[in-house]
A and B are shown apart, each in its own frame.
Chain A
Amino acid sequence: QVQLVESGGGVLQPGGSLRLSCAVSGFTFDSDVVHWVRQAPGRGLEWLAVMSFNGNQKYHAMSVTGRHTVSRDTSNKIMFLEMTSLRDEDTAVYYCAKGEGTGILSNGLGVWGRGTTVTVSS
């Protein structure tokens, strides 16, 4: 059974950095992909990035390119979202989700974690 569990959220000051983790289980193939999506309070879903477990596919949204980066620890089956230069507008619930199928980026996001909350405030 596929499961994703996010962790690492917290309260930070503007300009700070944070690394979110997404522990995955039940993945079958190294080409499986994990997306990061966030949702600001009272707002819609915003896609941030995607990365395959083998690292061969990696894309970021223009809105976070250069500030936020995805990475992975394949040994421990953890995907990361490393966020820097945090701003008030980074305040959100951050979800990781598995892309359906294997390695097909146009597929839907089939299984989601429960999310972790990041609050950026001075």
Chain B
Amino acid sequence: SYELTQPLSVSVAPGQTAQITCGANNIGRQTVHWYQQKPGQAPVLVIRRNENRPSGIPERFSGSISGNTATLTITRVEVGDEADYYCQMWDRTTYVLFGGGTKLTVL
């Protein structure tokens, strides 16, 4: 069964680019979604189906996937992007899987 591996934390200065990875064997063959969760709030879907942004999500957020890694990229990072980010996929044996989450700190 799958396990999704994310770095515990990523730090970036305002205006720079943040990349958050989600690793698993052959994840490039899967469909991955990304969520942003700010303290005390419910998660929000920011990237659906690997690379698509839901309505209302800034263009600064993008997703990609290849080989063993899915990546969430946030360009021109703002202080308001500071949050926990989770990747998620559907697996036929374990159903919905979440990565362990990555804390994005904006320095």
Which A residues are within 8 Å of any B CB, using their own CB? 35, 37, 44-47, 50, 59, 61-62, 95, 97, 100, 105-110, 112-115
Contact = CB atoms under 8 A, between A and B. Distances in A.
A59 B95 contact: yes
Interface SS, B side: strand
Contacts of A37: 43, 96, 98
A106 to B, nearest CB: 4
A35 B42 contact: no
A62 B94 CA distance: 7
A107 B101 contact: no
Contacts of A109: 33, 35, 43, 45, 88
25 contacts: A35-B96, A37-B43, A44-B100, A45-B98, A45-B101, A47-B95, A47-B96, A47-B98, A61-B94, A95-B42, A97-B43, A100-B45, A105-B96, A107-B33, A107-B48, A108-B45, A108-B49, A109-B33, A109-B43, A109-B45, A109-B88, A110-B45, A112-B44, A114-B42, A115-B42
